[in-house]
Structure 1
Amino acid sequence: MAEPHRPQGARGAARPATHGPQTSNRAHHRAPTHPGAWWLWSLALGTAATRTTNPLLLALLITVSAYVVTARRPHTPWSRSYGAFVKLALAVLLVRLVFAVALGSPLPGTHTLVTLPEVPLPAWAQGIRLGGEVTAETLVFALYDGLKLATLLICVGAANALAGPTRLLKSLPGALYETGVAVVVALTFAPHLIADAQRLRAARRLRGRPDKGLRGLLQVGLPVLEGALERSVALAAAMDARGYGRTARVPRAVRRTTAALTLGGLLGVCAGTYGLLTAEGGTYGLPVLLAGLAAALAGLRLGGRRSPRTRYRPDTWNPRSCLVAASGAAVAALLALAASTDPAALHPGVVPLVAPTLPLWPAAAVLLGLLPAFVTPAPEESEEKPS
C-alpha cells in the first residue's frame, strides 16, 4: 500500500539532513587545546624566567601567565591549583628573604639597614654567619633570586590549572601506557579514599562514637583500607579480563635500539636543561636539549610498537595548539637572545645598586605569551573529551 502524502509543514515531516563538512567544521572550531601545548607554553615561560633577574620582566611574566589562566582555565577542580602555586611561590620568596637576613651573604654592601646580634660559630663552620649586618644589597639580591624561582613555580602552576591531568596522561605515547594507567588509577582512588574516610567519620559521629585520636583513627582507617583493597582487587580483575599487560612481539634489535635512544635522549635532556638554567652552559644547552628530545621521542616512538592499543577520540594537535606552544617557545627564545646580547638590561646591578629598567623589545617578547588568551576557545565553548 502506498504511503499517504504529507504536507511539507505537517508534523512528522522529514528533517533536513545535516551536512558532514558543516558538522566537522563546528567540531574543529570547538576542539579543545592539546594539554601538551599548555605544558610547553608554561615551561617555555618558566625557561624565560630563568634567563633574567629583572624584577619588571619577571612581574610581566607573572602577569601574562595569570591573565591567560584567568581567561582560559576550565571550570574543573584541578583549575583551582593555580592559587596554591601562587601561595607556594610567595612562601618561597619569603623564605629566601629570611635566609638572607638570618644567614647573611658574602655579597659586599655599603648600605647597612640593620645590625643583628651575631652568633659566634666554631672554626669548622667558616663561611657561615648567623646575624650581623643586613645590607640593602643583600636584600635586593635575595629578592631578585627568590622572585625568579617564584616566577618559575607560578608558570608550572599555570600548566596544572590549564591542562587536565586525565587528558594529559591519555596523550602519553604507547611506550608509557602502563605508567599512565598507574597514575590515572592513583588519581582516581585518592578521592575515593578521602570520601570513604569522611563518610565513616560522619557515621561514627551520628552514633555517638569518637572519630578522633588514635582509637578513632584505627576504627576508621581499617574499613577505609579494606574498601581500598576490595576496589583494587575488582580493578585488577577487570584489567585482566580486558587483556591489560599484553604486549606485541618486537625484535631484539628494536628493543635494544629503543632502550639506547630513550636512555641517551633523557640524559641529553637533563644535560641540556642544566645548560639552559646556568649561565656557563648557554652555548651548548640548547643543541644538547634538542638532540636529547629528538632521541627520546624516537625511542618512545619505537617503544610504542610493544603496545598494540588504540585510543578513543585522541587529542590532536590542531592549529590553535601549535600557536599556543609556538608563542611560549618564542618568548623563551627571544629572552635567551636578549640575555646574550644585552645582559645588563636583563640582570640589573646589585653592587652598586642600580634601579631596574624595563627593556622594550624583551618586554614586547614577553607579551607574545598572551597569544593563547585570544586564539583558544573560551572555557564555556570548549568541550571536554571523555576519558
Structure 2
Amino acid sequence: MGAGLGWLRVPVGGRGSSLHAGAWWVWAGGLGVGASRTGNPLLLGLLVGVAGYVVAARRTDAPWARSYGAFVKLGLFVILVRLVLAAFLGSPVPGSHLIVTLPELPLPGWAKGIRVGGPVTGEQLVFALYDGAKLATLLICVGAANALANPARLLKSLPGALYEAGVAVVVAMTFAPNMVADVLRLRTARRLRGRSTGGVKAVLQIGLPVLEGALERSVALAASMDARGYGRTAAVPPAVRHTTTVLTLGGLLGVCAGTYGLLAAEGATYGVPLLGIGVAAAFGGLWLGGRRSVRTRYRPDVWGVRAWLVAGSGAAVALLMIRAGAYDPEGLHPGVVPLVAPGLPLWPAAGILLGLLPAFVAPRPAALTDKERTR
C-alpha cells in the first residue's frame, strides 16, 4: 500500500522529477480564462490570491522566477491608468453619486460623444475599477506562468518547427531578468564598498558592467548555438511544405478564433470546438514542419501524472467559470447602477480554489546551481 501510493509524496524538483514547463502555462491559461469570464472583484482577487500562493510555494530562486512582482506592479499600474482615463475622459455608465466636477475642455462638433473633464461619479470609477482589475488579473496570471516555468526547459519542449522562434522568445524573456539581477548585484557590491548607488555618476558606473555582462552572454549564446549547428534544416518535398503551411496557418486561425470565443462573454458555444479543431490542425502542421529540423533532444521532459494534475486544475477552473457564466451571470458580473457591494458566489469561488492544486502536487523547488542561476 505504501509503495503503491509513493507517487503521492511530493518530490523535490530535479533533473528527473521536474514538472513539464508547458503544464504551468496551461494552468495559468486556465486561470486567465476564468478571469476573463468575470468582472466580480472578489472572484478576481481570489484568482490573484490563488496564483500568488502557488508562485510562493513552487517558484525557484532563478532570475526569471522573480518576475512575478513586476507583473503585479504592472497590474496595479493598469488599474490606476484605467481609473485616470475614466475620470478625465468620462464613461458611458450613468451615475448619481457625484464625487468631483473637473474643468471640461470644449471640443468641436465632429468630436460629439467625447468629453475631456466634466463630472466624475462613483459609478464610473467603480466600473473602471472592475474593468481594470480584469486586465490586471490576466497580466498576473501570465506573470505566474513566467515565474514558474523554466524558459530553457520550455524551449526544449517546443516542436522542431517552432525552435527558431522559440529561441528568440526565450532570449527576450531571460534578458531583462538577468539584467535586473546584474544591477542588484552591482548595487550591493557598491554599498558594501561604501560607495553611493544614486546619482548620474553611479548609474553610469553601474550601467557599463551591466552592458558588458549582457554582451558577454550574447557572445557565449551565439558561440554555443553555432557549435550545436543551429539553423541547419533538412530537405523536404514541396507537397509536405505546402501541407505544413496550410495546416499551421489554418490551425492558428482556428486557435485565435476559439480563444476569442472563450474570452468573449457569449462565445463559449463555438469557442471550444473551434479551439479543438485549430489545436489539432496546428499540431499536425507543426509535426510535419518538424521534419525540417535535424536537431535532437537530450533527456526530453516527460509529461507525467503531476503535469496532468497541474494542467487539469487550470482547465477545471476555466470550464467551471464558463459554466458559471451560463447559470449565474449576475454573480460573475455585478452591476454598478445602482451602486451596491458585490457578492461572492460560492460555486465559482469553490471552482477557483481548484487552482491551488499545483501547490500540493507539483515538485518542490530545489536549490539551483550557480550555472542554472545565471541562465
TM-score greater than 0.5 by the shorter chain: yes
CA distance in 1, matches of 2:55, 2:311: 15
Aligned to 1:14: none
Alignment pair present for 1:360 and 2:346: yes
Residue 143 of structure 1 pairs with residue 146 of structure 2: no
CA contact (8 A) 1:320 1:376 kept: yes
* Counterpart for residue 271 of structure 2: 285
Contact in 2 for aligned 1:193/1:224 (Cα 8 Å): no
Change (3 A) 1:280 1:305: same
Helix, strand or coil at the partner of 1:290: helix
Secondary structure, counterpart of 1:96 in structure 2: helix
What is the match of residue 104 of structure 1?
A: 90
Matched with 1:267 is 253
What code does the residue aligned with 2:282 have? A
Give yes or no for contact 2:11–2:364 (8 Å, CA) kept in 1.
no
CA 1:324–1:244 in structure 2 vs 1: closer, same or farther (change >3 Å)? same
Worse-matched range after superposition: 354-363 or 88-97: 354-363
TM-score, normalised relative to structure 2: 0.82
Counterparts of 1:1-387 in structure 2, within 5 Å, are: 29-30=11-12, 31-184=17-170, 228=215, 239-240=225-226, 242-380=228-366
Match of 2:194 in 1: none
Share of identical aligned residues, percent? Answer: 67
Shift of 1:212: 6.6
In 2, Cα distance between the equivalents of 1:256 and 1:309? 22
- Residue type matched to 2:27 in 1? W
CA distance in 1, matches of 2:369, 2:318: 30
The 1:146/1:378 distance shift into structure 2, 3 A limit, reads: same
Shift of 1:113: 2.0
Instruction: State the alpha-carbon separation in 1 of the partners of residues 180 and 124 from structure 2.
Output: 47
Q: 1:298 to 1:123 in 2, by over 3 A?
A: same
Give me the whole-angstrom Cα distance separating, in 1, the residues matched to 2:64 and 2:283. 28
Q: Find the aligned partners of 1:158 and 1:193 in 2 and give their Cα distance.
A: 18
CA distance in structure 1 between the partners assigned to 2:172 and 2:140 by the alignment: 25
Offset of residue 183 of structure 1: 4.3
**Paired letter, 2:323:** L
Cα distance in 1 for partners of 2:340, 2:254 equals 38
Query: What's the RMSD between the two structures over aligned residues?
Result: 3.7
Q: Quote the Cα distance in structure 1 between the aligned partners of 2:179 and 2:69.
A: 24
CA deviations on 1:165-197 (whole Å, 9 max, x unpaired) are: 11111211111122233445566777589979x
Hey, what's the Cα distance between the residues in 1 that align with 2:100 and 2:42? 27
Structure 1 window deviating more from structure 2 (28-37 vs 147-156): it is: 28-37
Deviation at 1:249, TM superposition (A): 2.8
Matched to 1:275, the amino acid is G
Higher-Rg structure is 1
Q: Which residues of structure 1 form unaligned runs of 5+?
A: 1-20, 203-210
1:384–1:288 CA distance, 2 compared to 1 (3 A) = farther
- CA displacement, residues 53-103 of structure 1 (integer Å, 9 cap, x when unaligned): 111111111111111011111121111111111100001001111111111
| Structure 1 equivalent of residue 196 of structure 2 | none
**Conserved in 2, the CA contact under 8 Å of 1:72 and 1:373?**
yes
The change in CA–CA distance for 1:368 and 1:240 in structure 2 (over 3 A counts) is closer
**CA shift at 1:280, angstroms?**
4.0
Aligned-partner SS, 1:117: strand
SS of the counterpart of 2:102?
strand
Alpha-carbon deviation of 1:125?
Answer: 1.4
Aligned length in residues: 353
- 2:175 and 2:91 map into 1 onto residues whose CA distance is 47
Paired residue secondary structure (2:118): strand
Contact 2:59 2:147 in 1 (8 A): yes
- Aligned residue identity for 1:149: L
Change in 2 beyond 3 A, CA 1:241/1:129:
closer
With over 3 angstroms needed to count, the CA separation of the structure-2 counterparts of 1:133 and 1:187, relative to structure 1, is closer
Deviation at 1:246, TM superposition (A): 2.5
The one-letter code matched in structure 2 to 1:98 is V
Moved more, 276-285 or 255-264: 276-285
Partners of 1:32 and 1:383 within 8 A in 2: no
Which consecutive unaligned segments of at least 5 residues does structure 2 have?
A: 191-198
After the TM superposition, which of the residue ranges 367-376 and 110-119 deviates more from structure 2? 110-119
Tell me: CA distance 1:286–1:79, structure 2 relative to 1, closer, same or farther (3 Å): same
Aligned partners of 2:174 and 2:145: how far apart in 1?
Answer: 20
The alpha-carbon deviation at position 41 of structure 1 amounts to 0.5
| Residue identity matched to 2:87 | V
